Amino acid sequence: MPDMLVKLYDLPPNGSAHKKLEEKGITIRRGLPPEKHIVTEWVKSHFNAHWSSECEAAFARQPVSCLLATKTITIDGKSSEKLIGFACYDATAKAFFGPTGVDPAERGIGAGKALLIAALHAMREEGYGYGIIGGAGPVQFYSKTVGAIEIPESSPGIYRGMLK
């Protein structure tokens, strides 16, 4: 999977994707350090241990560079928040977006798009002009959503020689 380059100074607006999700009881926000164990366990169980490790690195930053998609659920008349997705940046390398993922049962409602755009805006606010999507899986999604372009000869890139 290639890396992709994104112009952070030419991103879609951050608010429109969030408003649609809020109507469905979904919030996009930064993770809080006391939630690290919940998020990393969720990522490990829904995706893999490598991504969980990258989430730990994102939670070690200040500000935390792991954004969460949470959904308000009501059980027995009590409301609580359920984690449905995450997106990290600056986890494995500076200016790198990823990993990111959404619970398969919650895909197709726009949470992944909103997480991507929010994380890239956060990178821009921290002073980056460009972002790199490391080991981009859905290349067409990133190209269509944020104008990302493939970086030639970038696979396996920074992950070359990683222990598995």
The CATH number given to whatever domain includes residue 117 is 3.40.630.30
Residue 69 in domain: yes
Is residue 131 situated within a structural domain? yes
Query: Tens-of-pLDDT digits for all 164 residues of the chain?
Result: 899 999 999 999 987 777 889 989 999 999 999 999 999 999 999 999 999 999 999 999 999 999 999 999 888 988 889 999 999 999 999 999 999 999 999 999 999 999 999 999 999 999 999 999 999 989 999 999 999 999 999 998 898 899 98
Residue 107: its pLDDT value, please? Answer: 95
Return the pLDDT at 89. Answer: 98
The token pair at 23 is: 């109507």
- Give first-to-last CA distance, the chain, whole Å: 17
In a domain, 80, yes or no: yes
Assigned domain for 164 exists? no
Domain count, the chain: 1
Domain that includes residue 116, residue range: 4-159
Q: Which residues contact 79 (CB under 8 A, 6 or more apart)?
A: 72, 73
Kindly state whether residue 96 falls inside one of the protein's structural domains: yes
CA-nearest of 116, 114, 99 to 6 is 116
Instruction: Give the global pTM.
Output: 0.94
Of 108, 69, 75, residue with least CA distance to 87: 69
Measured CA to CA in angstroms, residue 153 lies from 33, 99, 156 at distances of: 36, 20, 8
Would 141 be classed as within a structural domain? yes
Helix, strand, coil proportions of the chain in percent (round to 5)? 40, 25, 35
DSSP label at residue 65: -
- Residue 78 in any domain: the answer is yes
Report pLDDT for 16: 73
pLDDT of residue 19: 81
